[in-house]
Amino acid sequence: MSAMSIGQPLPRVDGRAKVTGAARYAAEFDQPDQAYAVIVTSTVGLGRVTGIDTEEAARLPGVIAIISHQNAPRLPYREHKGFIDPASGERLHVLQDEQVRFFGQPVAVAVAETLDQAEHAALAVRVAYEARTPATRIESAETVAPSEADSARGDADAALLQAPVRIDATYGIARENHNPMEPHATVAAWDGDRLTLWSKSQFVVNEQAEIAAVFGLPAENVRVVCPFIGGAFGTALRVWPHVTLAALAARQVGRPVKLVLTRRQMFYTTGHRPRTAQRIALGADRDGRLSALIHEGTGETSRYERFVEALTTVAPYLYSCPNVRTRYRLAPLDSSTPTFMRGPGEASGIFALECALDELAVELGIDPIELRRRNEPAIDEGENRPFSSRSLVACYEAGAARFGWERRDPRPGSMRDGRMLVGWGTATATYPVFRAPASARARLMPDGTAEVETAASDMGPGTYTSMTQVAADALGLSPSQVRFQLGRSDFPPTPPHGGSMTMASVGSAIHAACLAVLDQAIERTTSDDRSALRGVPAGSVEVRDGRLSLRDDRARSQSYAEIVALGDGRPIEAEASSAAGDERQRFSMHAFGAVFVEVAVDPDLGMVRVRRAVGAYGAGRIVNPRLAHSQCIGGMVGGIGMALMEQTALDARDGRPVNASMADYLVPVNLDIGTLDALFVEEHDPHVNPLGVKGLGEIALVGMAPAIANAVFHATGRRVRDLPIRIENLL
Ligand code: MOS
């Protein structure tokens, strides 16, 4: 074999394109004769539009059209069950009726020759409403049960009552918005009844299917292009109303239309981490062995769709416990629909669970790592299956050593640095290993290089690079000889670029496509009379350095270029699909990690700073350690935001997000972060997928918030159970 590329810290193959500006993002795909669209959003949180006065707006310079429910065509909105569409509910049908379901809902769109003119026109549209007060608090909403909302083994409530030691507490997490650097944007262009969308998307084939359904078109009439994404964290997994509006506006005015959301609009209709309220009850003996675990949680959703996430799914498998009960409810509010946000569900659920574990450790006077070790299960007791691999204890050991945990004085408030209170906290991270059907195409070119294509996205983890490594190894080429393309709906289909499943799913498909093209090359070179390898059994051919050669006599060999030339010089091409087998029925498959955090708390001002953090992860094979490290510390930054800063605050009178700007919605900046480190424990998992990977994107945020909250407790003796932890909680 050639020198393996997998496992090497290859720099990003698209790094140069990104830093030179050559990488094009959705809003940069300007089209000839393009017009600009700006959305007019509702200024009430519930009710109906009683009138739209467009007279002044329509007279402004450069205005081409003002489109509202009064003059928009009725769209077919064919039924469409996307991969991650809410299990039940209906899509928001934009500009189809006068109903206002949430603050910031699109009620009109202004189209003009320039962006400034479109913005001006949007401001001049006068909308009259009949308004009611929206329901915006999960505490006062009537909840509904999603399917498979509850689980139980043993009798957790009875066991809790009998337990010698009990923790029973409630936890709250604020609504958060993803706030990636790149705003959502779509450039839409029609050619007859064919539509091209240059659009920010983590799932281009779903956007294709969704928009085809909205407009009643065959899917092949819609093409979605998204080669680069400037961060997404889940907000671009599904299709939001602005994509429909861009396509609708382009069709109305008969020209290509560009629509870019403002930062404020990013808080209205592009999803958010749902606000949650949770209860954890733990029962244990004096040695810390769990006898009861109850996890109840409620998350917000919209009235028109049910958004379900994995809020309470970790409790049944994370620790050994004979009596476990979970309960999950949704609170429908007069709000837009939430969506997955980095570490979705697990990150929120584990905040409650891992804080409660820390509370139990304090109550018992047991080191928090030792407490987890005492409850380490031999199998997944929820599914009653073995783990495909589980390195939680190894993660705690490796992370503790790197962090220096043995120097921790367990007494709260006991560690100081000058006048600063110092706290050390830890928590478990975990995330399931997902894999969904995916396809890819590979092509050997006349010059001996390869092209590989798949519809996947790259929102930042380095998909371009890691997939190049997978293809290079499968074909015996160096990464520089592979040209990998993604982000087009006319490439072979892939699952959503989310749920940490891209490498497991798409990587496996690319591996399969490359082996299929290799088979063709071997077939050609062993059956052609002109070949040095004619008549050789396929099994005795090996691939290295862009050549096929006889294993026992390397002198007999042919290069890919020569093999392509044997067949008239036409590229050798193969497409392959790859899907999971029955491994999920046989094994419980999850990545695990242990997170360690040091905070400094100003005792007078209540300000918290994360000085350093260490995450140790058992995530299967690491395809590229440089990207993996970057991926993990990026997730940690998100976790710092979740723990200490991020919250979308709604005005109870009208549901308005009052801090819908980057000045008011706080995210961590360099000075908030300190030193972050990630390490990976060696893990060989033959069961998860052919590449042995578990995925990293989501787990990197999971566990960070409870580790910080536990560190804040250690520093101050204050147990804050509501995120974000604010100054006023510590004064
Ligand atoms: Mo991830 S929240 O599935 O983008």
Query: Identity (one letter) of the amino acid at 572?
Result: I
pLDDT at res. 2: 52
- pLDDT band for 208, please (50, 70, 90 cuts): very high
What would the pLDDT profile of 417-442 be if each residue is shown by its tens digit? 999 999 999 999 999 999 999 999 99
Average pLDDT for residues 190-198, to the nearest whole number? 98
Which residue's CA is minimally distant from atom 4 of ligand 1?
A: 234
| CB of residue 233 inside a 6 A radius of ligand 1 | yes
pLDDT at res. 638: 97
What would the pLDDT profile of 222-243 be if each residue is shown by its tens digit? 999 999 999 999 999 999 999 9
Q: Are 150 and 330 in contact (CB under 8 A)?
A: no
Q: What angle do CA 222, 228, 229 make, to 5 degrees?
A: 100
| CB of residue 299 inside a 6 A radius of ligand 1 | no
Phi then psi dihedrals of residue 62, to 5 deg: 80, -5
pLDDT at res. 71: 97
pLDDT(33) > 60: yes
| CB of residue 431 inside a 6 A radius of ligand 1 | no
Give the distance (Å) from ligand 1 centre to CA of residue 232.
8
Residues facing residue 127 across a β-bridge = 52
Average pLDDT for residues 70-93, to the nearest whole number? 79
Q: How many CA atoms lie within 13 A of 430 on its CB side?
A: 26
| CB of residue 180 inside a 6 A radius of ligand 1 | no
What would the pLDDT profile of 456-500 be if each residue is shown by its tens digit? 999 999 999 999 999 999 999 999 999 999 999 999 999 999 999
Rounded distance, CA 493 to CA 438, Å? 6
pLDDT at res. 148: 81
Range scoring the smallest mean pLDDT among 46-55, 137-146, 211-220, 437-446: 137-146
Rounded distance, CA 475 to CA 483, Å? 12
Q: Are 704 and 715 in contact (CB under 8 A)?
A: no
Specify the ligand 1 atom closest to the Cα of 342. Answer: 2
Specify the ligand 1 atom closest to the Cα of 697. Answer: 1
| CB of residue 236 inside a 6 A radius of ligand 1 | no
Q: Are 712 and 599 in contact (CB under 8 A)?
A: yes
Q: Are 24 and 226 in contact (CB under 8 A)?
A: no
| CB of residue 702 inside a 6 A radius of ligand 1 | no
Cβ neighbour number for residue 552 with a 10 Å cutoff: 9
Q: Are 362 and 288 in contact (CB under 8 A)?
A: no
**DSSP H helical ranges for 322-391:** 346-364, 368-374
What would the pLDDT profile of 538-597 be if each residue is shown by its tens digit? 999 999 899 999 999 989 999 999 999 998 889 999 999 999 999 999 999 999 999 999
Q: How many CA atoms lie within 13 A of 278 on its CB side?
A: 34
Rounded distance, CA 724 to CA 713, Å? 14
Which residue's CA is minimally distant from atom 3 of ligand 1?
A: 498
**DSSP H helical ranges for 528-569:** 560-566
What would the pLDDT profile of 528-552 be if each residue is shown by its tens digit? 999 999 999 999 999 989 999 999 9
Length of the chain: 731
pLDDT at res. 87: 47
pLDDT(86) > 70: no
What would the pLDDT profile of 291-334 be if each residue is shown by its tens digit? 999 999 999 999 999 999 999 999 999 999 999 999 999 999 99
Give the distance (Å) from ligand 1 centre to CA of residue 176.
14
Specify the ligand 1 atom closest to the Cα of 459. Answer: 4
One-character DSSP codes across 250-294 = HHHHTS-EEEE--TTGGGTSS--BPPEEEEEEEEE-TT--EEEEE
Q: Among residues 113, 682, 698, 728, which one is catalytic?
A: 698
Specify the ligand 1 atom closest to the Cα of 235. Answer: 4
- pLDDT band for 1, please (50, 70, 90 cuts): very low
| CB of residue 203 inside a 6 A radius of ligand 1 | no
Place of tokens 């691939």: 543
Range scoring the smallest mean pLDDT among 11-25, 95-109, 134-148, 386-400: 134-148
Rounded distance, CA 661 to CA 656, Å? 12
Specify the ligand 1 atom closest to the Cα of 340. Answer: 2
Give the distance (Å) from ligand 1 centre to CA of residue 233.
5
Three-state SS at 439: strand
- pLDDT band for 220, please (50, 70, 90 cuts): very high
Residues facing residue 578 across a β-bridge = 438
Rounded distance, CA 673 to CA 468, Å? 32
Q: Are 441 and 210 in contact (CB under 8 A)?
A: no
Residue 419 tokens, joined: 């006048």
pLDDT(709) > 50: yes
pLDDT at res. 556: 93
Closest listed residue to residue 182, CA positions, set 74, 260, 81: 260
Mean pLDDT taken over the chain: 96
pLDDT(89) > 90: no
Instruction: Give yes or no: 698 in active site.
Output: yes
Phi then psi dihedrals of residue 189, to 5 deg: -140, 130
Q: Of all residues in the chain, what percent carry a pLDDT higher than 90?
A: 95
pLDDT at res. 141: 86
Rounded distance, CA 272 to CA 637, Å? 17
Rounded distance, CA 395 to CA 672, Å? 26
Place of tokens 């008011």: 664
Give the distance (Å) from ligand 1 centre to CA of residue 489.
19
Residues facing residue 586 across a β-bridge = none
pLDDT at res. 247: 98
- pLDDT band for 85, please (50, 70, 90 cuts): low
